[in-house]
Amino acid sequence: MTNSTKIYGWGRYPQQDAYLHAPTSCASLELTAKQQNSVLARGMGRSYGDSANALNVLQTTYINHFIEFDKVTGKLIAEAGITLREILEVIVPSGWFLPVTPGTSYVTLGGAIASDVHGKNHHSAGTFGQHVESLSMLLGTGEVVTASPQHHTDLFHATCGGMGLTGIIMHATIQLLPIRSSLISQKTIKADCIEAACEAFESNSDATYSVAWIDCLSKGKSLGRSVIMLGEHAEQGGLNIDIRQKVSVPFSTPSALLNSSTMKAFNTAYWYKAKHSVSQTVSLIPYFYPLDAVGEWNKLYGKKGFVQFHCVVPKLDGVASMRKLLTEISNSGEGSFLAVLKQFGIANENLLSFPTEGYTLALDFKASETAIKTVKKLEAMVVEMGGRLYLTKDAVMQENTFKVTYPNWEKFEAIREQYGAIGKFSSTQSKRLGLA
Amino acid sequence: MKRILIIGSTSAIAEHCARIWAARGDALHLVARNEQHVQVIASDLNVRGASEVTTYCIDLNDTDRHEELLNVADASLKGIDIVLIAHGTLSNQKSCELSVDETLQEIQTNALSTISLLTLIANRFEAKKSGTICVISSVAGDRGRSSNYVYGSAKAMVTTFTSGLRQRLHKSNVSVVTVKPGFVDTPMTTEFKKGVLWAKPTTVAALIVKAIDKNKDEVYIPRFWQLILLIIKVIPSQIFKVLKL
């Protein structure tokens, strides 16, 4: 392997040179991993910052085969490099759906587990890892083991949400969710400030899916105005899936196109376009993956890319915390056109899993020195509030923030030590955060 | 439901064609060298919806076994509608230049083994007066270049052979589809720097399946390669020989 390639996450910031290895089978993956001193498995490269960046990268996307799918029980076994999109294509027509899905289907199964991703049903279904029955893993020792809630329990809980730092997931068994229809009954609620939005989440906690688009640029009385979208799986309407991608952003747009005026205009238009308390039926794909319809939308932020700030703050004083964060964000005037607010349910046992009970906020900032300053300021506020940042979105978090807000990190390191992961699996992010 | 024989089925392009056919519910017979690898692909295609998947392992340079390969395929599929020939190696031009054996081996793998298969399949399809034969050639076969002329000349032979075969079999209602992909982003080319000319195997596979569906003759994949090759072919040798391509 002689040539290095520029790699980067979905935010296109930061970028680095890496040696890419692309094994086509589990056998060649084992061999390639053995030959390298330190490696990191990388799937679709959809984590935003540098958590899938490393000097030696094992690209898993060719290891993307289904192994078994039981249409009666909804148990699915597949290799880690398969994308959720490919899984949907096969399972939806048979009346099954992913028990938890992130906002894009262009992630791999292994990546979804390593990030312990969450979706619009976190308050009721928890994270993706909570629906994983077992994992087949390649350890740093070269050994292949099965980790599950019953076997190698410690390894299992370190791996779900473990950012690929405990070993390489080769295949996984997951339990799917039965559905009767591929349609979603959606209800929209408009909340004219952050307090009203949090109240709406609270009073609709029995909804299966809930998420809000939040206007991060509005100030004063309408600070944090939101459009909350509730969803339920419909009972009728057939089991169809249309996953064709419609349009694509062909190249990085001049980044000046996304400035505070255009973003403000977009947010205002979005707010006035939404209708309060309207119910409608929508297809599963546009409901869960609205942005997947625009290929490579990350290029909209221009060549320098963007950073995402994705935090959770505890439920206690959660509304007040959100108000403080939103005030800071709207004063900076830099928040982007796409911000998301959601209420999380209780945390799980996975050591580095992000969600904890409270409110979560995610928004993009076009990469610039001032934006990174703003993000760092917000980071300090979140630490103060007892919240934390999502490793999968992070590109700039400080070591100290990580160690304070993820208090299980020492336990995580002990398990990595025990299973031979230290020195063998690392990322640019893990080094920045002070993991061995 | 179509009955499809895929030769070289562990290649990224062939595998993605197979996935499209599996989703349509076709019956597939996979031929490959690596037993373990082809079994993984077979299970995958079953889940993706193939009505039946069978496998056969062979080193395709063992041309003595080609007749047996076709007999087994014919029996497994109960008749063959489509054959996709996709096996091959990406030759290392530099080491070929230093070794007669390696050069001849590359010609054997990328041209002669295909010619052997085509000869046998052509006679079978001609006799039953139906069928589609699709062969993956390459834009590299259109004009020899210093960077890969061993591989290119093998593909040139395949292109020329299939051109003649197409004429011969036309009156027997048999289609011969020659596809010429350009740069494809496969595991074989991970090390290469990728530019705008590179296509994903999923894109290439979709275009190949479409070419087969439409009984095309010779297609460049993606289409823009036709224009590029048109230009490359008209450059006079006097100029061409000093170019770095």
Report yes or no: A65 at the B interface, CB cutoff 8 Å.
yes
Phi-psi region of A317 (alpha: psi -120 to 50; beta: other; left: phi over 0): left
Fold classification of B3-240 is: Rossmann fold (3.40.50)
Say which residue, A195 or A333, is predicted with more confidence.
A195
Partner-chain contact A25 B36, CB within 8 Å: yes
pLDDT category, B191, cuts 50, 70, 90? confident
Residue A394: pLDDT band by 50, 70, 90 thresholds? very high
Q: Are A371 and A11 in contact (CB under 8 A)?
A: no
Contacts of B57-66 spanning 24+ positions with Cβ under 8 A: B57/B31, B57/B32, B57/B33, B58/B31, B58/B32, B58/B33, B59/B33, B60/B7, B60/B8, B60/B31, B60/B33, B60/B87, B60/B109, B60/B113, B60/B117, B61/B108, B61/B109, B61/B113, B63/B112, B63/B113, B63/B116, B66/B116, B66/B117, B66/B120
Find the mean pLDDT for residues B71-92: 96
Q: Could you tell me the CA-to-CA distances from B214 to A61, A86, A240, A416, B134 in Å, in that order?
A: 30, 26, 26, 55, 12
Q: Which of A23, A59, A66 lies at the smallest CB-CB distance from B44?
A: A66
CB of A140 closer than 8 Å to CB of A155: no
Minimal CA separation from B76 to chain A, in Å: 22
What value does the mean pLDDT of chain A take?
A: 93
* pLDDT cut 90: percent of chain A above it: 79
The mean pLDDT value for B184-197 works out to: 80
- Residues within 8 A of A (CB atoms), B 140-199 only: 187, 190-194
- The model's confidence at residue A4, banded by pLDDT at 50, 70 and 90, is confident
- Report strand pairing: B82-85 vs B132-136: parallel
- Tell me if chain B has a CB within 8 Å of the CB of A270: no
List chain B residues with CB under 8 Å of A3: 191-193
Assess whether pLDDT exceeds 80 at residue A363.
Answer: yes
pLDDT tens readout for residues A229-273: 999 999 999 998 877 656 677 677 666 667 777 777 878 888 888
- C-alpha to C-alpha distance for A47 and B16, rounded to whole angstroms: 26
Put simply, the answer to whether B47 touches A89 (Cβ < 8 Å) is no
> pTM of the predicted model, to two decimals?
0.93
**Chain B hits for A59, Cβ within 8 Å:** 190
Higher-pLDDT residue of A293, A397: A397
For residues B158-172, give the mean pLDDT. Answer: 98
pLDDT of residue A240: 87
Dist. CA A434–CA A375, nearest whole Å: 20
Report the residue from A1, A3, A66 with minimal CB separation from B48. A66
Mind listing the pLDDT tens digit for each residue in B96-118?
Answer: 999 999 999 999 999 999 999 99
pLDDT for the residue numbered A2: 56
Confidence category of residue A297, pLDDT binned at 50, 70, 90: confident
* Rg of the Cα atoms in chain A: 21
How far, in Å, CA of A348 to CA of A159, rounded?
Answer: 13
Residue A157 has pLDDT above 80, yes or no: yes
Q: Quote the radius of gyration of chain B (alpha carbons, Å).
A: 18
Instruction: Please name each of the domains of chain A with its CATH number.
Output: 183-398 (3.40.462.10)
Give which of A227, A231, A232, A224 is closest to A276, Cα–Cα.
Answer: A227
Residue A32 pLDDT? 93
Residue B214 has pLDDT above 80, yes or no: yes
Q: Is B94 on the interface with A (CB under 8 A)?
A: no
Residue of B nearest to A57 (CA): B190
- Among A398, A381, A393, smallest CA distance to A307 is for A393
Please compute the mean of the pLDDT values over residues A49-70 and round it to a whole number: 97
What's B2's DSSP letter?
A: -
**Token pair in block for residue B101:** 């054996």
pLDDT at A293 over 90: no
Per-residue confidence (pLDDT) for residue A1, from 0 to 100: 47
A220 burial level (CB within 10 Å; 0-12, 13-18, 19+): exposed
Residue A15 forms beta bridges with which residues?
A: A8
Residues in A closer than 8 angstroms to B10, CB to CB, are: 24
